[in-house]
Structure 1
Amino acid sequence: MPALEVGRVDRSRVARSARHTGRMSDEVVEHIRGALDAPVTVLEYGDYECPYCAAAAPVLRELVEMSDGVVRLVFRNFPLFETHPHALTAALAVESTQLSGVFWEMHDLLFKRQHRLDDAALRGYADAVGADPDLAVGEPAQRFVPKVRSDYAAGVRQGVRGTPTLFVNDEPYADRVELRALQRATGLSRSLRRRPWWRR
């Protein structure tokens, strides 16, 4: 599979809700899980065929869900297509589901079903989450190449070499992708200590 062309990234527009991903025809959008105004942003560069990303996915989801609006997750594609033959087509399939508003459902499902990412499986996953399976693979999915390319280019500029790579408020995160470590890095361990026990 040919390497992605590294081009200019337009980040002037972002998603306006945790589930909204906008139109692909004229804008490149971010995929955000959590409160849009969260003071802490965890940025992940991930690959849907990477086993370490699959292990990280539920941890990052739990981090956001238990943060009470403090942490949001931004996911960007960084398919390691030279070692993961299905990574790029999987990324395109997940991007296609944004049109149905089920990006995160497809994102989570692919990490759970990582053992099978061929075209037939991707169509089935899209259908399972309520998206149009005809957009998930083949020529229709090519319209989402600019999004994947821009994510990849942004990662290259930030020095990403593998997946998952995380940044916490633009600072590289070098610890294990474990809940306690991420709580410390995002300041959640301190905020949890200050909260009443019945709100934890």
Structure 2
Amino acid sequence: MNQDSYPNQLFVSLSQRDHYQGMLNAPVILVEYGNYQCPQCREVRQLVQAIQQHFNSGFSEENWVCGVFRHFVQNSIYPQAQKAAQAAAGAQGQFWQMHNMLFIHSQELGDGYLVEYADILGLDVSQFLQDLSNQVHVDRINQDMKRGLNSGVTSTPSLFISGIRYRDRWNMEQLMAAITAANH
């Protein structure tokens, strides 16, 4: 099967290796392919967070919506996205905290800023720098990229709702309607 066989479907299933918030067996799974330097990805991330909060706020133990983030670095367009992805992947168990910080400061992703963010989060900065220098997490980022390409992703942001590519408008109402429909 090539990527054109299922251009509207998530080709690679979820796993414990993914960066996710919620339960992987939630009724609705949102898989976002993005990068930290893309302005539209920042906006989509804010929408996804608001939607997760909305749908999950009434549930005590189980979440109705699980959010997954996969890296899709486009070096030719976003030259700092690769290093930022490495910073998030190497955040020593604080992926989502670093993830949010990188989106908040998406215009400030130089090496000095990444170190500052690591320090703010209380990471072992020496280990963080060593991991960045040795590109420890590049294979994981490349695996996300390959998964995206296999699912027909060519640009960011790209979103899949319960395995189906979302291609409508990026606004709260349409996304919520698509999520509600995905659960029925």
**CA 1:156–1:189 in structure 2 vs 1: closer, same or farther (change >3 Å)?**
closer
Tell me which stretches of 4 or more aligned residues in structure 1 moved more than 4 Å: 188-191
1:108-160 CA-to-partner distances (Å, cap 9, x unmatched) read 111110111010100111111222233444x5221101110000001111111
Does the 8 Å CA contact 2:14/2:24 hold for their aligned counterparts? no
Looking at structure 2, the residues matched to 177 and 43 of structure 1 have their Cα atoms a distance apart, in angstroms, of 15
- Residues 1:70 and 2:70 are matched in the alignment: no
**CA 1:13–1:62 in structure 2 vs 1: closer, same or farther (change >3 Å)?**
closer
What value does the CA root-mean-square deviation take over the aligned residues?
Answer: 2.2
Higher relative contact order at CA 8 Å, sep ≥6: structure 1 or structure 2? 2
**CA 1:178–1:12 in structure 2 vs 1: closer, same or farther (change >3 Å)?**
closer
2:74 is paired with a residue whose SS is coil
AA at the equivalent of 2:27: P
Q: Unaligned 5+ residue runs, structure 1?
A: 1-10, 16-28, 192-200
Looking at structure 1, the residues matched to 156 and 183 of structure 2 have their Cα atoms a distance apart, in angstroms, of 28
Q: What residue number does 2:73 align with?
A: 79
TM-score, normalised to structure 2, is 0.82
State the Cα distance separating 1:163 from its structure 2 match: 0.5
Candidates 167, 173, 176, aligned match of 1:174: 167
Q: Give me the identity figure in percent.
A: 33
**CA 1:186–1:12 in structure 2 vs 1: closer, same or farther (change >3 Å)?**
closer
Q: What residue number does 1:196 align with?
A: none
- Residues 1:121 and 2:113 are matched in the alignment: yes
Q: What residue number does 1:49 align with?
A: 37
AA at the equivalent of 1:58: Q
2:29 is paired with a residue whose SS is strand
Looking at structure 1, the residues matched to 13 and 85 of structure 2 have their Cα atoms a distance apart, in angstroms, of 22
Does the 8 Å CA contact 1:35/1:72 hold for their aligned counterparts? yes
Looking at structure 2, the residues matched to 174 and 188 of structure 1 have their Cα atoms a distance apart, in angstroms, of 14
Q: What residue number does 2:157 align with?
A: 164
